[in-house]
Structure 1
Amino acid sequence: MTTRILAAGDHFVLNDLLTGAVAKEVTDRSVSFTELTLPWPVVPFGRVAEVDEASGTEDELIEALQGVEICITQMAPLTEKVLKACPKLKLFCISRGGPVNANLEAATRHGVAVTSAPGRNAAATAEHTLGMMLAAMRRIPQTNADLSAGTWRGDYYMYENVGPELEGSTVGLVGYGAIGSRVARMLQGFGATVLVHDPYVTEDALTGQAEKVEFDELLARSNVITLHARVTPETTGMIGAEQIAALQPGSIIVNCARGALLDYDALCDALDSGHLFGAAFDVFPEEPIPAASRLLTTPNIVMTPHLAGASKATANKAAQIVAADVRRYLNGEPLANCANPEALMPARTA
């Protein structure tokens, strides 16, 4: 019997990567592929019905899923409407760190297991974080822009304008998961002292490369703060005016995690006042950035358009991780990265 699989890729995690990874993993079973190409990142992701950060429409996905048992995707919206219209669907594999574009409660009711690809972009995001940190500390984008415009500015070499070094600095990491732990390891090579605030990490897990401290101590001691926490009710807005004021004068804030962790208006105030030396962001409270945003006019900010995890290796790892769970599903094995394993239990009601 042939299992039908829909590859709903996009312009980053390509259909060829998804189907190729599954073909390598599944060699002892008959599978057939159909394909749907979603418009992300040419068209920004957004909310689709009740799910966030999705690409494409419910109707086009429903049409493509007819008769399909497995869907492998990055951005397709798994909504109540889609689930009701696609009764043959049993496995929905999302090739990103978490299943944000899936209605897990509805998927469980309809007996559809949802998997993701945790850690797929950890190396890329950690490397990007270090690059953003260095760019903000040494004002690399600003000096490049001046030179590209034909202006040689010697005043960048004046004592009050030059930035710090990573060697000898104290860098505070808020969050110590797959990305934060990699950043800590890289910072050791630069000769930085690394502090960590993460209520879920133990001293043993730090393996001697960082010191676990309370949040207030991290703010008081750090020259650089870099955010690697997930967004929860407790972490939303965790860096605001009060926390920024507690930082040492001339500090730097880096955020390649999620925009909701940081009060960007308070940060712009601190840059305008000179309390902060600089900041670097890959994520924002609203994406794309609105034309009237202060982030576009406040000095000493380095920005990239939410692409910290964008590398060819990330796309390939994402495809490989979901393909491995497709193999496990077809072989009747436990899924490695399932967000709702109860969906595959024998007794269930749709």
Structure 2
Amino acid sequence: MSARTVLLLGDKFVRCALLEEALREEVGKQVSTTAVELSWPIEPFGRVAEVDEASGSEEDVLAHIQGKEIVVTEMAPLTARVFAAADSLRLVVVTRGGPVNVNLEAATRHGVVVCNIPGRNAQAAAEYALGMILAAVRRIAEAHSSLVGGRWRGDLYAYEEAGFELGGSTVGLVGFGAIGRIVARALTALGAQVLVHDPYVTDEEVRAVGAARTSLEELLRSSRVVSLHARLTSETAGLIGRHEIQLMPRGSALVNTARGGLLDYSALIEALESGHLWAAALDVFPEEPLPPDSPLLTMPRVVVSPHIAGATRETAKRAARLAAVQVGRYLRGETLQHVLNPEVMEIRHADRR
């Protein structure tokens, strides 16, 4: 039997070499691979045709997709035009949790199953969120940059300038998926009182990590630190706006390592300038890269980073390994996991009958 054809559209994070190694371990010589490496994250992702957060062009994909049965990618633009040209394609595995670079409707129309890899970077993103919380409330980044710039900031020890401890503070987590749960456990270990708002989890799930479930309004009113961990959907877009920020206690901190669209950044800047918010830590923004004239770059007690919360080597290896598992399940005729368009599977089963 001839080997099944796989197109690996890797990038500078989930490298083609990682994908090839994981496939060899999972399926041996059952597949024949073509590997193409895209430029993300050296070059920022963006919108390509009708899909978002994509790297490369439609032409990059079209040049290699003919005759391929399986595509594995993190960032390649899999558009309606691509699916229309991919007559042999049956499976797409996207090595990320939010596959907005895939036109799912077009995939379904052309009978292509699409799977994703949720939770691949949960540990990395949770650790980074905790680091950003600490950096914000203890002014770590500000102290570092001033010292390397030649200034010894002894004034940061003054009472009015000193940060505050997480132990004994109330910290609110908006969103309680895989990332939020790890953050909650770490915060409770530090002695924080953790509140959670997530309409899709139970009280029992929240209590299992030592936290308490509450409404968004109560969480905002009660928390000295609020950290965002929700997915960006039509329900959560703009979830934290001017009204919600004003509900937070004066002198509190806001952290966003999830998605820029969850938060009104104009309202955030106003609250920081007025002193209503004491600090903020941000890894995501409504426009990425962050414009060089953004006031967030020069504000005191604001920590910013270039959307790298999930950037660990373990995340990249995990993504490759989990993608290879999906390819293996497909080749063996086993039930696929994390299928985003199960109706395609139902049609295939009906056709076999």
> TM-score by structure 2 length?
0.96
CA contact (8 A) 1:279 1:300 kept: yes
Aligned to 1:328: 329
Task: Name the residue aligned to 2:308.
Answer: 307
Measure the CA separation in 2 of the matches of 1:84 and 1:213: 47
Quote how far apart the aligned CAs of 1:208 are. 4.8
Q: Which residue of 1 is the match for residue 318 of structure 2?
A: 317
Determine whether 1:191 maps to 2:204. no
Aligned to 1:175: 175
| Amino acid corresponding to residue 304 of structure 1 in structure 2 | S
- Which residue number corresponds to residue 274 of structure 1? 275
Cα deviation, residue 294, structure 1: 2.3
| Superposition deviation, residue 112 in structure 1 | 0.8
Equivalence map 1:60-71=2 (5 Å): 60-71=60-71
Whether 2:244 is the aligned partner of 1:261: answer: no
Rate the CA distance shift 1:208–1:293 in 2: closer, same or farther, 3 A. closer
What's the CA shift for 1:298? 2.6
- In the alignment, is residue 252 of structure 1 matched against residue 258 of structure 2? no
* Structure-2 residue corresponding to 1:236: 237
Matched, 1:98 2:98: yes
What is residue 117 of structure 2 aligned with on the other side?
117
More off after superposition, 119-128 vs 285-294: 285-294
Contact 1:272/1:299 (8 A) holds in 2: no
Distance in 2 separating the partners of 1:270 and 1:86:
50
Q: State the SS of the aligned residue for 1:75.
A: coil
CA shift, 1:260, in A, is 0.7
SS at match of 1:71: strand
1:58-91 CA deviation, whole Å, 9 max, x = no partner?
A: 1120111121111111101111110111101111
Query: Runs of 5+ in structure 1 lacking a partner?
Result: none
Q: Residue 271 of structure 1 aligns to which amino acid in structure 2? A: L
Contact 1:265 1:294 in 2 (8 A): no
| Equivalent pair of 2:184/2:209 in contact (CA under 8 Å) | no
Aligned to 1:225: 226
Q: Where in structure 2 are the equivalents of 1:24-103 lying within 5 Å?
A: 24-27=25-28, 30-103=30-103
Q: What root-mean-square deviation, in Å, do the aligned CA atoms of Structure 1 and Structure 2 show?
A: 1.2
Tell me if structure 1 keeps the 8 A contact 2:40–2:55: yes
Cα deviation code 1:124-178 (max 9, x no counterpart): 0000000000000111111111110111121111111001101111000001000
Contact 1:197 1:212 in 2 (8 A): yes
Following the alignment from structure 1 to structure 2, what is the Cα–Cα distance between the partners of residues 256 and 137? 15
State the Cα deviation string for residues 222-248 of structure 1 (Å, max 9, x = none). 000000111122221111111111111
SS of the residue 1:108 aligns to: helix
Q: Which amino acid aligns with 1:51?
A: V
CA distance in 1, matches of 2:338, 2:245: 37
**What SS does the corresponding residue of 1:52 show, helix, strand or coil?**
strand
Partner of 2:297: 296
Find the aligned partners of 1:267 and 1:151 in 2 and give their Cα distance.
Answer: 28
Counterparts of 1:208 and 1:81 in 2: how far apart (Å)? 46
Q: Give distance in 1, aligned partners of 2:303 and 2:153.
A: 19
Secondary structure in 1 aligned to 2:234? Answer: coil
Structure 2 letter corresponding to 1:66: Q
Aligned residue in 2 for 1:147: 147
1:203 is aligned to 203
Contact 2:176–2:229 (CA under 8 A) maintained in structure 1? yes
> TM-score, normalised on structure 1?
0.97
Tell me the equivalent position of 1:343: 344
Q: Which amino acid aligns with 2:59?
A: D
Counterpart residue identity of residue 187, structure 2: L
Deviation at 1:342, TM superposition (A): 2.1
Letter in 2 for 1:137: V
SS in 1 for 2:278: strand
Query: Do 1:99 and 1:114's aligned partners in 2 also have CA atoms closer than 8 Å?
Result: no
Structure 1 residues 126-145: aligned runs within 5 Å: 126-145=126-145
Supply the distance in 1 between the matched residues of 2:334 and 2:57 (Cα, whole angstroms).
32
Q: Distance in 1 between matches of 2:186 and 2:153?
A: 32
Alpha-carbon distance between aligned partners in 2 of 1:231 and 1:102, rounded to the nearest angstrom: 16
Rounded Cα–Cα distance in structure 1 between residues aligned with 2:156 and 2:13: 38
- Using the alignment, how far apart are the partners of 1:59 and 1:173 within structure 2? 42
Q: Secondary structure at the match of 2:195?
A: strand
Number of residue-to-residue matches in the alignment: 347
